[in-house]
Amino acid sequence: MHYLNISFTYKNTDISVREKLAFDSDEKKDQILRLLKSSKNIIECMVLSTCNRVEVLAYTNDIKSAMTHIIRCLTVYSGVFEDELFERADIYEDSGAVHHLFAVASSLDSLVVGETQIVGQLKNAFKFAFDNASSGEHISRLVHYACKCAARVRNETQISKNPISVSSVAVAKAKEIFGTLENKTAVVIGAGEMGELAAKYLITSGANVIIINRSSDHVEELVENLGDKASWDSILKLKEYINKYDLIFSSTSAPHAIITGELIEPQEFRRYFFDIAVPRDIDLVNTDKISVYSVDSLEEMVRRNLALREEQAQTAYSIVGQSTNEFLKFLKDNISIPLIKTIRKKAEICAEAELEKALKKGYLKHSDKEEAAKLIHQVFKAFLHSPTINLKSLASKNDAEQIAGGIKFLFDIKEENLENLTKDIDEI
């Protein structure tokens, strides 16, 4: 069995392709997971979709077949040609897939290194896949260890000190443009995760925020939590607000652009639009009165942040390497330990059954039961001594899985009888 990760990020794919690949609703996530699971070669899978990446993680019995199937599924979903996806994709196998996911969880592969959103996004992606019966114990173990690695990086480095995200980078760019945001009014369209973060960073920078949203369901509570500097209004007044104010952030989950040229009225003042949504919310051309910043156009500022964090990133990568080795050792250990326990348990059950038979048929006195049980236990313990020692050394062997498979067959051990060693990732 193998881990496989196929990754599309800001590094290998521009935003026009990423937005075609974006799984920005539960319905779309469910659709792609069903498609992926239609292959007999994919045992488990999950999809991580954020504004800067789409990752497909699979546990498979055949890497080549699974890889082809995943790319074909993404082609069916996105309309992007199969050859182009293969050309663009970063593909990681086994230990490479483990290392990559740990780096992603630790925000070392993020557009903004050190941002803290990604761990929550990873947990949510796993939970969705698990709840929809696409992920099980194998991906659960991997995600659990990835979250542990991220926690270590967070606690042992300064990489997330003064945490920043794409939203905070956009706000920082706005501060750079205006000099200060103190008492400035900013319009934030969308009350989702990215919009909420943008609003928080704006208020922290001294700005007043008007949140424009389709419904009042979530936004009223959000505004209340944000305090006196926040208010909200209906998306029906979108045209009015984007023509009245000069600082606009948009982060809806709309499948198409909501701010287009038809909504723009000529104004004497210059307007700055920050499109932090994937797919893009804003379809405007830069002019002398309009400036549009997309996720990708914020890379220059991000690079400056990367330079400042380079030293901490090196330390963090060392932790990722250590965590990867620990997980790979756990996988090998996990082959032998459940086998040892299961074989010894089967021996114990067999011994108890035969002892009861002997008592029932009168071959053994009831008064001798305790002593007989001790003797039988010593016998099977002695008999299993060498197999136990050899199984403990299984972790060091390259063909550990094949040997384990033979032992399972020999002792008629089913997967469901092996001890479940997984943990809840929310414990991290």
CB atoms within 10 A of CB 168: 21
- Confirm whether 315 is domain-assigned: no
- Confirm whether 416 is domain-assigned: yes
pLDDT at 371: 85
Note whether 6 and 89 are within 8 A (CB): yes
Same-domain pairing of 200 and 287: yes
pLDDT band at 93 (very low <50, low <70, confident <90, very high): very high
pLDDT, average across residues 217-224: 88
pLDDT band at 55 (very low <50, low <70, confident <90, very high): very high
pLDDT, average across residues 231-251: 95
Q: Which residue has the tokens 């542990």?
A: 148
- Confirm whether 112 is domain-assigned: yes
Encoded tokens for 20: 């075609």
The more confident residue out of 73 and 301 is 73
pLDDT band at 268 (very low <50, low <70, confident <90, very high): very high
Q: Residue 246 is part of a domain; what is its CATH number? A: 3.40.50.720
Domain boundary among 108, 128, 156: 156
CA nearest to 331, candidates 152, 130, 142, 144: 142
pLDDT, average across residues 392-418: 68
- Confirm whether 325 is domain-assigned: no
For residue range 115-147, list pLDDT tens digits in order: 778 999 999 999 999 999 999 989 999 999 999
- Looking only at the bridges linking them, the beta strands covering 247-250 and 271-275 are parallel
Given a cut of 60, whether residue 417 has pLDDT beyond it is no
Same-domain pairing of 125 and 181: no
pLDDT band at 387 (very low <50, low <70, confident <90, very high): confident
pLDDT, average across residues 361-386: 84
CA nearest to 188, candidates 254, 235, 121, 118: 235
Same-domain pairing of 272 and 407: no
Given a cut of 60, whether residue 8 has pLDDT beyond it is yes
Q: Convert 314-334 to b/e letters by CB count within 10 Å (16 or more is b).
A: eebbebbeebbeebbeebbeb
Measured in degrees and rounded to the nearest 5, phi and psi for residue 335 equal -75, -45
Q: Which of 181-185, 346-350, 358-362 has the highest mean pLDDT?
A: 181-185
Same-domain pairing of 41 and 184: no
Q: Which residue has the tokens 């959000």?
A: 222
Q: Residue 121 is part of a domain; what is its CATH number? A: 3.30.460.30
For residue range 155-186, list pLDDT tens digits in order: 998 887 655 677 888 998 899 899 999 999 99
pLDDT at 389: 79
CA atoms within 13 A on the CB side of 234: 2
The more confident residue out of 159 and 43 is 43
Tell me the C-alpha distance between 369 and 356, whole Å. 9
Instruction: Report CA-CA distances (Å) from 22 to 29, 78, 97, 107, 390.
Output: 9, 8, 21, 19, 48
pLDDT at 412: 78
Same-domain pairing of 150 and 209: no
CA nearest to 2, candidates 54, 47, 65: 65
- Confirm whether 318 is domain-assigned: no
- Confirm whether 113 is domain-assigned: yes
Same-domain pairing of 376 and 296: no
Count how many residues are written for the chain. Answer: 428
CB atoms within 10 A of CB 78: 20
Instruction: Report CA Rg, the chain.
Output: 28
For residue range 206-217, list pLDDT tens digits in order: 999 999 998 887
CA nearest to 21, candidates 44, 42, 50: 50
Which domain range does residue 138 map to? 2-156
CA nearest to 335, candidates 376, 380, 394: 394
- DSSP for 279-297, please give it: S-SEE----SSEEEEETGG
Domain boundary among 130, 156, 182: 156
Measured in degrees and rounded to the nearest 5, phi and psi for residue 90 equal -95, 120
**SS3 label, residue 7:** strand
Tell me the C-alpha distance between 318 and 329, whole Å. 17
Same-domain pairing of 96 and 20: yes
Given a cut of 70, whether residue 396 has pLDDT beyond it is no
Question: Residue 272's beta-bridge partner residues?
Answer: 247, 291
- Confirm whether 17 is domain-assigned: yes
pLDDT, average across residues 60-64: 92
The more confident residue out of 350 and 150 is 150
Same-domain pairing of 205 and 94: no
pLDDT at 213: 93
Q: Which residues are catalytic?
A: 51
CB atoms within 10 A of CB 184: 18
Given a cut of 90, whether residue 409 has pLDDT beyond it is no
Determine what percent of the chain is predicted with pLDDT higher than 90: 52
Same-domain pairing of 38 and 117: yes
CA nearest to 192, candidates 108, 286, 124: 124
What's the mean pLDDT when you consider all of the chain?
86
Same-domain pairing of 301 and 361: no
Same-domain pairing of 82 and 147: yes
Encoded tokens for 340: 């040892």
Measured in degrees and rounded to the nearest 5, phi and psi for residue 399 equal -100, 30
Encoded tokens for 120: 């929550």
Query: Which region among 100-104, 164-168, 222-226 has the lowest average model confidence (pLDDT)?
Result: 164-168
The more confident residue out of 370 and 319 is 319
How many structural domains are present in the chain? 3
Which residues make Cβ contacts (< 8 Å) with residue 296, sequence separation at least 6? 10, 14, 15
Task: Indicate the DSSP class of residue 111.
Answer: S
Question: Residue 234's beta-bridge partner residues?
Answer: 213
Same-domain pairing of 126 and 178: no
Q: What is the pTM of this model?
A: 0.62
Given a cut of 70, whether residue 428 has pLDDT beyond it is no
Domain boundary among 96, 128, 156: 156
Note whether 58 and 42 are within 8 A (CB): yes
- Confirm whether 7 is domain-assigned: yes
pLDDT, average across residues 92-108: 94
Given a cut of 90, whether residue 261 has pLDDT beyond it is yes
**SS3 label, residue 228:** coil
